[in-house]
Structure 1
Amino acid sequence: MNGGARMSENKIVLIKRKTRLEELVVRYNTIQQAQFYIERLGADFSDYISEDLNYRKAVETAVIELSAVGRVQLLERQHVPNFIFGDEDTVVVLGQDGLVANTLKYLREQPLIGVNPDPQRWDGVLLPFTVKDLRLLLPDVFRGRREVREVTLAKAELNDGQSLYGVNDLFIGRKTHVSARYLLQLSGTAEQQSSSGIIVSTGMGSTGWLRSVLAGAAGIARSAAGIGLAGSVAAAGLAGADAEGRLAWDHPHLYFTVREPFPSRTTSAGLVFGQIGSDQPLRIISQMPEDGVIFSDGVESDFLEFNSGVEAVISLAEKKGRLVV
């Protein structure tokens, strides 16, 4: 498709990230100083250079391919939380998977295309396309001819009006992951707790943090009781999980787990795992004088403060993520 045939009315937002090399240069000011630091640790600096070159080439190629079919705006990862996406925008993310998840939660159901910039380096579960696919792919997306998979999101909403979405999971606890105090409420049951935090997971996040926590819990129970509990997510009680413990991306429930709950004279450890549905939100009232936080998808720098007296309602989000496949 030549420039004269470009679909100029279609706006495409291309999301990119800093490479490891770029982050090192920011930290150490020059490539030479970054190289000295890496090689002093015994690491291979040429791998950093190779990754950077491949990613830069992927960005350049993506811009060329996308410019043939629409208007392209290049956006750095750190600007995504404050960027206002248009309702008709199409979003292209030059991965890894984490960048896809951390972009999806800021969209209002605009279609997102995950692109693998370096298939030899990254597997990319959420990156089904390469930069060479874009010129043929985008016109089909504009016309609604590509399959789009919906993704259930989690939402944390505070009583001061602030909110945060999660694609894989939410973490509620202390910034340093030490003991957090709070009141937990679900379906008419309330419990004072002290723990190292609460994890709320979506269907997409069922194979991540949630799987790790539940597999560990099952292993502890098996060793302690001497009985043959399976250590998979499916065996841990997730309705609808497949044989490998995976839930569908559009699974209609969230699951919460309490990490390392500590029972005492004033705290309990009964309400430590459960399901959150559309008519069954989880309510948490913070009793942490400082360092209480809620963050999503492992991005600790993008958080809500969650200190004493603040109430959070954890529920299914009112919007869905939409991934082009």
Structure 2
Amino acid sequence: MSLAPRAVLVHRRTAYAQTVARHGTPGAADFFLRTRGRSLAELEEADEQQRRALAAVAAAVPPDWRTGTVERADLPRFLFAPEDVVVVVGQDGLVANVAKHLAGQVVVGIDPAPGRNAGVLVPHRAADTADLLRRSVSGATCELRTMVRARTDDGQELHALNEVFVGHRSHQTARYVLTAGERREEQASSGVVTGTGTGATGWLASLARGLGRGPGGAALPGPTDPALAWFVREAWPSRTTGADLTAGSLTGPPGADPLTVEVLSDELVVFGDGLEDDRLTLSRGQRMHLDVSPRRLALLR
């Protein structure tokens, strides 16, 4: 007998909850904000929107399904099962936060505040949850978004939906040898960013514009293209370092022609999608390989 599906609701603490926790009470938080020309009421409204959305989503889960709830901060410790349907209630970035912990589970993105969020990865409304959950287990077509993988020479891996950063912990000078295909260069820079088509609308787009790429320049990959783009941040030439190998693309199946970083600093860190606390640490002499991930985000449309 197969297990019933489990709907896992993913959310994050709202700005209201974080602000009240920081100041101790709602009154103290409101006083602090008012002295700076703001009001706690605007944060409270968004908090209430999310509460209503979470309640509507929970109520829409079929009675014969199992349910689970996980907050963003607990994602690294949460075990997702193969039969889970992951319902993300929040902003687009929360989908990226959860993607690295999945292995093909269907993701349903719910926007709790339509009009406030971009809604690219959370295109649905809470009122549509019941229908979306039925579709998620009935063979509905999902949009399969490419992810990026970072692999160390000692077997550690990190996957990300938007981009992976390799560099110094404090974003100061990182020293390394970069290898892309037949080209190899020792560099000193503020880090290397490798991203997907999903990330091409964020940090990757900013880096592309800075190097004269992006709109009007070299095309970045699309969200479902099995390709990545990479950029070196602020490389500078010296007697021992170069600044010619600063951008490129990676295509092909996982493991094919990766971008390789050989560490020359005492320590570099690797993190994905802006989550610096969930990182890998590299020491001098280690190698990091960046390529298309074998995982893909299965986003229900």
Q: TM-score range by the shorter chain?
A: over 0.9
CA 1:39–1:304 in structure 2 vs 1: closer, same or farther (change >3 Å)? same
**1:88 equivalent in alignment to 2:87:** no
| Corresponding residue number in structure 2 for 1:77 | 72
| Corresponding residue number in structure 1 for 2:149 | 155
For residues 299 and 69 of structure 1, the distance between their equivalents in structure 2, rounded to whole angstroms, comes to 35
CA deviation profile, 1:75-103 (whole Å, cap 9, x unmatched): 11111122111111111000200001111
Partner of 1:117, secondary structure, is coil
| Corresponding residue number in structure 1 for 2:22 | 27
Gaps spanning 5+ residues in structure 1: where? Answer: 1-6, 219-231, 242-246
Q: Pairwise mapping of residues 245-260 of structure 1 onto structure 2 (< 5 A)?
A: 247-260=221-234
Choose from 237, 241, 246 the match for 1:272.
246
Q: Which amino acid aligns with 1:281?
A: P
Superposed displacement of residue 174, structure 1: 1.1
Superposed displacement of residue 32, structure 1: 2.0
Superposed displacement of residue 117, structure 1: 0.7
Query: Given that residues 12 and 92 in structure 1 are in contact (C-alpha distance below 8 angstroms), is that contact kept between their aligned partners in structure 2?
Result: yes
The CA RMSD over aligned residues, in Å, is 1.7
The structure where helix makes up a greater share of residues is 1
Query: Given that residues 175 and 293 in structure 1 are in contact (C-alpha distance below 8 angstroms), is that contact kept between their aligned partners in structure 2?
Result: yes
For residues 35 and 304 of structure 1, the distance between their equivalents in structure 2, rounded to whole angstroms, comes to 39
Q: Which amino acid aligns with 2:264?
A: Q
TM-score, normalised to structure 2, is 0.94
| Corresponding residue number in structure 2 for 1:98 | 93
| Corresponding residue number in structure 2 for 1:262 | 236
| Corresponding residue number in structure 2 for 1:182 | 176
For residues 315 and 28 of structure 1, the distance between their equivalents in structure 2, rounded to whole angstroms, comes to 43
| Corresponding residue number in structure 2 for 1:167 | 161
For residues 263 and 21 of structure 2, the distance between their equivalents in structure 1, rounded to whole angstroms, comes to 37
For residues 135 and 313 of structure 1, the distance between their equivalents in structure 2, rounded to whole angstroms, comes to 42
**1:310 equivalent in alignment to 2:286:** yes
Query: Given that residues 8 and 71 in structure 1 are in contact (C-alpha distance below 8 angstroms), is that contact kept between their aligned partners in structure 2?
Result: no
For residues 210 and 251 of structure 2, the distance between their equivalents in structure 1, rounded to whole angstroms, comes to 25
| Corresponding residue number in structure 2 for 1:3 | none
The structure where strand makes up a greater share of residues is 2
The ranges of structure 1 where at least 4 consecutive aligned residues each deviate by more than 6 angstroms after the TM superposition are none
Choose from 59, 64, 73 the match for 1:64.
59
For residues 295 and 176 of structure 1, the distance between their equivalents in structure 2, rounded to whole angstroms, comes to 13
For residues 125 and 319 of structure 1, the distance between their equivalents in structure 2, rounded to whole angstroms, comes to 20
For residues 209 and 17 of structure 1, the distance between their equivalents in structure 2, rounded to whole angstroms, comes to 22
Superposed displacement of residue 234, structure 1: 4.6
Question: Which stretch of the first structure deviates more once superposed, 90-99 or 209-218?
Answer: 209-218
For residues 107 and 45 of structure 1, the distance between their equivalents in structure 2, rounded to whole angstroms, comes to 35
CA 1:60–1:36 in structure 2 vs 1: closer, same or farther (change >3 Å)? same
TM-score, normalised to structure 1, is 0.87
Query: Given that residues 30 and 40 in structure 2 are in contact (C-alpha distance below 8 angstroms), is that contact kept between their aligned partners in structure 1?
Result: yes
| Corresponding residue number in structure 2 for 1:283 | 260
Query: Given that residues 209 and 215 in structure 2 are in contact (C-alpha distance below 8 angstroms), is that contact kept between their aligned partners in structure 1?
Result: no
| Corresponding residue number in structure 2 for 1:233 | 214
Superposed displacement of residue 123, structure 1: 3.0
For residues 46 and 141 of structure 2, the distance between their equivalents in structure 1, rounded to whole angstroms, comes to 31
Q: Which amino acid aligns with 2:216?
A: A
